[in-house]
Amino acid sequence: MGQRFLEISHDNSSTQVLTGRSVSSDVTRLGVPLDELQRAPACSSPLPCLKPTNTHTVMIRTLESRWVLINQALRRSFRSCEDLKDAILKYNAAQAKCWDFTALDLYCKEEIRFLINPELIAARLFTEALDDNESLIITEIVAIDALHYRNFLQQFHPDNMKRELNKAYCGFAHPEMNTKHLSAVATGNWGCGAFGGDTRLKAVLQMMAAAEARRDLIYFTFVDTELLRDVHNIHTLITRKHITVGSVFGVLQKYYECVCSTASSTKAQESLYCFLSENL
């Protein structure tokens, strides 16, 4: 596993509020950072001397594919929840070129995270497009880009599932630290919504990646109670039977071969979790 490091700093110690002219609705789409610039003193005023108070480490992590060799049991400590206050490791699912969010009409989870942590915007200046086996880590915030699917069933192709597993594992793994000291990974519907990902498939793939990385998982369903129930039930089934990650992946491959590859429409006739429940 290779790693590249960069460091950036930002000052969050200022408590002074500077009022400026109002910002138009077109400009406020960019959110808090631009609004803060608008509050800056007039050009004739002396600028304050800002001293960095926090150092943010930016790291690109690379790993090799390993999913053929996996035989790690899924961890029992996975749990589902809907409340963001339980988050331990901030998690960000994003586009490969570091999120050109100005073109979107509504804020998504990654855009909100950029507004909360404006140092992420600075990372766009020097972050290249990520390869399939790379992740971007910025001081406890993990950025992993999901594939964009125009054909819903294509995401169940084994090559695409392997790619997403590698990507998630690369973001979750921390091999240089003792697993007993690692925090849980807080994640959710990674690559769903505009990217066309299936929430139930992505939940299982992230369970598998977290199990292989030997990390606990906190999964946010974002007020989707039906998804919460389904993810909890499938995890309970997997852990109760002590099924390994490799075995789960084998059934996922079987689902593609038996259901997805023979489907006459863009939707499978049998749901993923029903198939898993019958074949695990």
Rounded Cα–Cα distance for residues 77 and 239 (Å): 9
pLDDT at 91 over 70: no
* Residue 253 predicted with pLDDT over 60: yes
pLDDT band, residue 25 (cuts 50/70/90): very low
Percent of the chain with pLDDT over 90: 26
Residue 272: pLDDT over 50 = yes
Task: Please report the pLDDT score of residue 55 as a whole number.
Answer: 57
CATH, residue 84? 3.40.220.10
What is the rounded CA–CA span in Å between residue 249 and residue 67?
9
- The predicted pLDDT at position 70 comes to 60
Residue 210 lies in a domain: yes
In this predicted structure, what is the pLDDT of residue 136? Answer: 77
Let me know if residue 31 belongs to a domain: no
Structural domain containing residue 96: 53-279
Tens of pLDDT, residue by residue over 139-177, are: 677 888 899 998 999 999 999 999 999 999 988 888 777
61 assigned to some structural domain = yes
Give a yes or no: residue 48 inside a domain.
no
pLDDT at 95 over 50: no
What's the pLDDT at 90? 44
| Interval 82-91 mean pLDDT | 41
Instruction: Give domain status of residue 39, yes or no.
Output: no
What is the tens place of the pLDDT at every residue in 34-44? 554 455 444 45
117 contacts 142 by C-beta, under 8 angstroms: no
- The answer to the question of residue 195 being in a domain is yes
Higher pLDDT, 274 or 222: 274
- Let me know if residue 44 belongs to a domain: no
pLDDT confidence band for 11 (50 / 70 / 90): very low
How many domains would you assign to the chain? 1
- What pLDDT digit, counting tens, does each position of 37-83 carry? 455 444 455 544 545 555 555 666 676 656 555 666 676 555 555 44
Q: Is residue 18 domain-resident?
A: no
* DSSP structure string for the chain: -EEEEEEEEE--------------HHHHTT-HHHHHHHTSPPTTSPPP-----EEEEEEEEE----TTS--PBPPTT-EEE--GGG-SB-EEEE-TTS--GGG-SS--HHHHHHHH-THHHHHTTTPPPPPTTEEEEETTEEEEEPP--SSGGGGGSHHHHHHHHHHHHHHH--TTS-GGGPPPEEE-STT-GGG---HHHHHHHHHHHHHHTT--EEEE-TT-HHHHHHHHHHHHHHHHTT-BHHHHHHHHHHHIIIIITT-SSSS-SS-HHHHHHHH-
pLDDT in the model for residue 1: 53
